[in-house]
Amino acid sequence: MVNHLLLWAADNPRLERSVSNNKLFGKLVHRFIAGPELADALSAASDLNSRGIGGISDLLGEGVKDLAGAAEASQEYHSAIAAIAEKQINATVSLKLSQLGLVLDPAACASNLAMILDRARDLGVGVEVDMEQSELVDASLKVFREAAGQHPETRLAIQANLRRTPSDLDAMAALKPRIRLVKGAYAEPIDKALHSKKEVDAQFRHLTNWLFEHGSFPAFGTHDSDCIEYAEKAAVKAGVGQQDFEIQMLYGIRRDLQESLAQKGYRVRVYIPYGSSWYPYLMRRMAEKPTNLVFFLRSVVGS
């Protein structure tokens, strides 16, 4: 019940304005969002690198109103790639296709993505493509499949809660795709998504096995200790080493587990959001896992 309310809140502009003007949330935002600028994300990534953990820069915001906005977002991604390469930071760049114009003009989005991927390849910086709500999955998969032909190193996020995901992965098996498996954090109807934790966890485990068998260099985006432990065991069973897959987590959540896994020799990478559009991100993260709400509330009261 709580997660459905939080997902509703994530898409409520009136509530967003109210929360954004509430000074109590300043401390919360500071813990879970690196800051308003790219430099803040890069500083956070450098700090993580000092502890053996990689970063993923994430420009907050979903969708643009026109192609000029898509061009502006594209330039921000180019800047992030150039800065990561120049500063020699262990970080990738995560991007949203809706920010590149996917809804407005899929062809323009594909062109923007291609230029970003070309630049990232030239500078040796990895790129991860986020998956958004179910209405954009078909278009996102189409753009990714076209891009992966020239840039097989590109990683795509796939949501375990969507009922269609096993079929989507089977259709990409020939590509041996690089996938970031997440549970999913969008409000979806029951006919499109699994709603119970038990069902989502079962599908997450099934897809974990699929990725070790059919994918390449998979990443598992989760804070769920059971899912992480399952991935560790599945890797051993598949003959995959600790450095041949990633555990990815969110900035500010389960820092102790991040460091523990890195110290054990696992490849760990942390998703570092930055920018002013923090409200929908935080609401979805709280809805994604009820215990995240506890982390957020504790940060506000200072416990």
Contact 261, 268 (CB under 8 A): yes
Tokens found for residue 287: 């809805």
Tokens found for residue 38: 């790219």
The answer to whether the Cα torsion of 85, 88, 93, 99 is positive or negative is: negative
As a whole number of angstroms, the distance between CA 219 and CA 129 comes to 12
Residue tagged active-site, from 130, 178, 201, 267: 130
Let me know if 47 is a catalytic residue: no
Let me know if 130 is a catalytic residue: yes
H-assigned helices in 151-254: 165-171, 197-214, 225-238
Residue tagged active-site, from 40, 58, 178, 180: 180
The CA distances from residue 218 to 22, 148, 180, 212, in Å, are: 39, 15, 6, 7
> SS3 for 133?
coil
The CA distances from residue 127 to 31, 151, 238, 265, 277, in Å, are: 25, 10, 26, 23, 21
List residues with catalytic annotation. 130, 180
